[in-house]
């Protein structure tokens, strides 16, 4: 009996073991079948991903040329050094490389430690020729080090037009200026190819059958003229040396097209050394700074009053011997004036005369006028960072605004707004959009066809005032301002110059009241008066040398010098109404530029 039970127990165990073995073999066989026939494609993809590497083929960024084809920005090929941390064996090479490239040894060693399992780590990108030669002289023996070629942006003119151009960062992305505004056109479109790597990460095959070529970037032709830009920047440097301002800027415009011929700001920087750029130098004050325009706003108020029929050109005003009360506020002129004509109110820059014109316009008329000339809104200049300026809502204006606005207070403008509005006066009352782009050339260096229009903001020609009003303001009061008024230091031999000075007090940060020490000195001028071709604006923020910071004294002479050189460079015929006996000197200067 016991024997039978024992045999049954053994038989049951045997069958159990047999079943387990069969089940195990079934599971293994099923897994093998799955791997062989079902999961093959999936695992093949995993292996392929480990072996196949998609390498980017960078597009070459397009060039930037000035209006005459002079090169402002281009792209060259440079070498970048990398290391494969997995293969790095000789520590002495690390020390030698850091010394050659002036890298912090401890910091680099920390990076190596953090990436010791990686197959790629940048050491330094876009080496200079001196750095490249220094690395080659080390004769690095192991295969842990290597070079990759990358595109590097180069600016042949250095700091010229730095704020207008902007730059491209270490990864080739546009930062500031035209480089940022038109990055989508300049950068092009990257291509790619596939590389086959072995288990150690080494490339063993390049698959060109699936290669996608890069499309190089577009070349931009800008409205800037390098020669005029150079004239402008030299004058700004002279202002810095003589008056030591916090900042300054200048803009030169073509009156007929509103094209920007030059745009400069100080402090400035060298585009080829972005690592040395300070925050204050990076700001393009021509479009990204606001200030109360002072007397440079006065011609627009007179234009509006004339256009609305509230003022006659030959009308006279009692300027109250230099004191005039509006509400509880007592207005003053710099001198005690009696009766002044409309022309002399602008020539002598009488605040009281302007306040009385403001009373005729009333606050709604003043508000409408400043908006019509483009203040309180962006001009549409093709640059990033443009500010709108400040025009407060009409509901917040009061009786003091009636006198302040005509004097250029209680309103803040940008330099680009101010010169664009003055172009309207010089161009028979037509307000245009400022332009920086002339043309766009594709990656094969062919101009775009009519089917591919240049992607720039369309030019707008909006009549603000009648040609009669605009021409009279330019030819009479603004020309007289230079001949015998506050802009006398801007007179030129050979050309009849028109212009307007501006001396605006700035609020004291501590008291909030207007300071007698902090000023914005500005001057805008153009020529020839009978047929304006060029307009120049110079704005000087907080000059710190001297006591009299009048716009005609500080900004007038450099603005006139820029205007004179630009007119002669462009071979604009002398204006007969501006000829003087000493014009032989002017002719000699002009001939020297030919």
Length of the chain: 594
pLDDT of 456 reads 38
Would residue 571 count as lying in a domain? yes
- In this model, does residue 96 exceed pLDDT 50? yes
Would residue 524 count as lying in a domain? yes
pLDDT of 593 reads 46
pLDDT of 94 reads 87
pLDDT of 12 reads 67
**Least confident span in 66-80, 426-440, 480-494, 578-592:** 578-592
The reply to whether 61 and 186 lie within a common domain is: yes
**Least confident span in 124-133, 190-199, 566-575:** 190-199
pLDDT of 56 reads 81
Q: Specify the CATH number for the domain of residue 235.
A: 3.40.710.10
- In this model, does residue 127 exceed pLDDT 60? yes
Helices of type H across 102-189: 105-114, 129-136, 162-165, 177-181, 183-186
Q: Which residue has the higher pLDDT, 3 or 279?
A: 279
Residue 73: closest CA among 165, 142, 11: 165
Averaged pLDDT, 430-435: 94
The reply to whether 392 and 429 lie within a common domain is: yes
- In this model, does residue 435 exceed pLDDT 50? yes
pLDDT of 488 reads 95
pTM, rounded to two decimals: 0.84
Q: For residue range 381-430, what is the model confidence (pLDDT) as tens digits?
A: 999 999 999 999 999 999 999 999 999 999 999 999 999 999 999 999 99
Question: Last residue of some domain: 194, 222, 250?
Answer: 222
The reply to whether 242 and 170 lie within a common domain is: no
The reply to whether 261 and 322 lie within a common domain is: yes
Q: For residue range 176-188, what is the model confidence (pLDDT) as tens digits?
A: 999 999 999 999 9
Averaged pLDDT, 96-110: 90
- In this model, does residue 51 exceed pLDDT 90? no
Q: For residue range 187-239, what is the model confidence (pLDDT) as tens digits?
A: 999 888 777 766 666 666 667 777 888 899 999 999 999 999 999 999 999 99
The reply to whether 370 and 242 lie within a common domain is: yes
pLDDT of 459 reads 53
Would residue 203 count as lying in a domain? yes
Q: How far apart are CA 322 and CA 350, in angstroms?
A: 9
Would residue 263 count as lying in a domain? yes
pLDDT of 201 reads 61
Q: How far apart are CA 191 and CA 177, in angstroms?
A: 26
The reply to whether 359 and 373 lie within a common domain is: yes
Would residue 120 count as lying in a domain? no
- In this model, does residue 278 exceed pLDDT 70? yes
**Least confident span in 43-47, 275-279, 398-402, 524-528:** 43-47
Cα–Cα distances (Å) from 351 to 44, 294, 297, 357, in that order, read: 84, 10, 12, 10
- Which residues, at least 6 apart from 198, have a Cβ–Cβ distance to it below 8 Å? 51, 204
pLDDT category of residue 2 using cuts at 50, 70 and 90: low
Query: Residue 176, by phi and psi: left (phi above 0), alpha (psi -120 to 50) or beta?
Result: left
- In this model, does residue 590 exceed pLDDT 50? no
Q: For residue range 313-371, what is the model confidence (pLDDT) as tens digits?
A: 999 999 999 999 998 899 999 899 999 999 999 999 999 999 999 999 999 999 999 99
pLDDT of 440 reads 72
The reply to whether 180 and 250 lie within a common domain is: no
The reply to whether 417 and 470 lie within a common domain is: yes
Q: How far apart are CA 473 and CA 298, in angstroms?
A: 11
Q: How far apart are CA 567 and CA 584, in angstroms?
A: 16
Cα–Cα distances (Å) from 533 to 182, 528, 577, in that order, read: 28, 7, 15
The reply to whether 370 and 395 lie within a common domain is: yes
Would residue 85 count as lying in a domain? no
pLDDT of 576 reads 60
pLDDT category of residue 451 using cuts at 50, 70 and 90: very low
Extract the tokens encoding 529. Answer: 């008066």
Residue-range definition of the domain harbouring residue 565: 226-268+284-436+460-592
- Which residues, at least 6 apart from 29, have a Cβ–Cβ distance to it below 8 Å? none
pLDDT of 194 reads 79
How many domains does the chain fold into?
2
Helices of type H across 340-408: 342-347, 351-372, 399-404
Please report where in the chains the tokens 């910071």 appear, as a residue. Answer: 549
Q: What is the residue-averaged pLDDT of the chain?
A: 87
The reply to whether 255 and 352 lie within a common domain is: yes
Q: Specify the CATH number for the domain of residue 158.
A: 3.90.1310.10
The reply to whether 312 and 204 lie within a common domain is: no
The reply to whether 396 and 418 lie within a common domain is: yes
Would residue 124 count as lying in a domain? no
Would residue 327 count as lying in a domain? yes
148 in Cβ contact with 58 (< 8 Å): no
pLDDT of 578 reads 56
């Amino acid at each position: 009996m016991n024997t039978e039970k024992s045999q049954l127990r053994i038989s049951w165990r045997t069958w159990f073991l047999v079943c387990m073995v069969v089940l195990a073999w079934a599971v293994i066989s099923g897994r093998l079948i799955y791997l062989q026939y079902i999961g093959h494609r999936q695992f093949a993809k995993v292996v392929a991903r480990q072996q196949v590497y998609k390498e980017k083929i960078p597009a070459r960024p397009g060039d930037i040329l000035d209006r005459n084809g002079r090169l402002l920005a281009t792209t060259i090929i440079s070498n970048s050094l990398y290391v494969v941390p997995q293969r790095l064996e000789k520590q002495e090479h690390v020390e030698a490389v850091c010394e050659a490239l002036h890298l912090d040894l401890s910091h680099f060693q920390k990076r190596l430690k953090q990436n010791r399992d990686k197959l790629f780590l940048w050491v330094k990108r876009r080496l200079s020729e001196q750095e490249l030669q220094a690395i080659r002289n080390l004769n690095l023996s192991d295969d842990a080090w290597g070079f990759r070629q990358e595109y590097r942006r180069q600016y042949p003119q250095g700091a010229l037009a730095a704020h207008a151009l902007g730059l491209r960062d270490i990864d080739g992305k546009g930062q500031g200026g035209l480089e940022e505004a038109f990055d989508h056109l300049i950068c092009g479109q990257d291509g790619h190819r596939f590389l086959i790597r072995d288990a150690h990460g080494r490339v063993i095959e390049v698959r060109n059958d699936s290669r996608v070529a890069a499309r190089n970037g577009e070349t931009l032709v800008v409205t800037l003229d390098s020669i005029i830009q150079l004239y402008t920047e030299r004058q700004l440097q002279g202002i810095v040396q003589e008056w030591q301002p916090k900042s300054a800027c200048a803009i030169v415009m073509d009156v007929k097209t509103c094209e920007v011929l030059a745009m400069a700001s100080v402090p400035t920087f060298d585009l080829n050394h972005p690592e040395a750029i300070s925050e204050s130098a990076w700001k393009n004050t021509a479009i990204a700074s606001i200030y109360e325009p002072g007397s440079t706003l006065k011609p627009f108020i007179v234009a509006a009053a004339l256009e609305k029929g509230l003022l006659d050109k030959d009308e006279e005003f009692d300027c109250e011997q230099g004191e005039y009360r509006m509400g509880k506020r007592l207005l003053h002129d710099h001198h005690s004036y009696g009766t002044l004509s409309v022309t002399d109110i602008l020539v002598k820059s009488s605040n009281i005369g302007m306040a009385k014109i403001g009373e005729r316009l009333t606050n709604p008329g003043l508000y409408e006028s400043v908006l019509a000339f483009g203040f309180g809104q962006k001009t549409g200049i093709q640059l990033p960072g443009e500010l709108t300026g400040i025009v407060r809502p009409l509901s917040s204006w009061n009786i003091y605004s009636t006198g302040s606005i005509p004097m250029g207070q209680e309103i803040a403008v940008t330099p680009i707004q101010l010169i664009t509005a003055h172009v309207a006066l010089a161009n028979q009352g037509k307000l245009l959009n400022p332009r920086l782009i002339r043309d766009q050339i594709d990656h094969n260096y062919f101009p775009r066809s009519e089917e591919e229009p240049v992607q720039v903001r369309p030019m707008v020609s909006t009549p603000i005032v009648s040609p009669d009003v605009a021409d009279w303001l330019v030819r009479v009061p603004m020309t007289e301002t230079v001949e015998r008024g506050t802009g006398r230091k801007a007179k030129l031999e050979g050309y009849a110059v028109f212009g307007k000075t501006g001396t605006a007090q700035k609020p004291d940060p501590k008291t909030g009241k207007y300071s007698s020490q902090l000023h914005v000195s500005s001057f805008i001028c153009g020529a020839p008066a009978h047929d304006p071709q060029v307009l120049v604006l110079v704005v000087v923020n907080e000059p710190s040398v001297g006591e009299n910071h009048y716009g005609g004294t500080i900004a007038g002479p450099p603005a006139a010098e820029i205007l004179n050189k630009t007119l002669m460079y462009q071979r604009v015929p002398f204006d007969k109404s501006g000829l003087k006996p000493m014009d032989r000197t002017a002719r000699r200067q002009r001939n020297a530029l030919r």
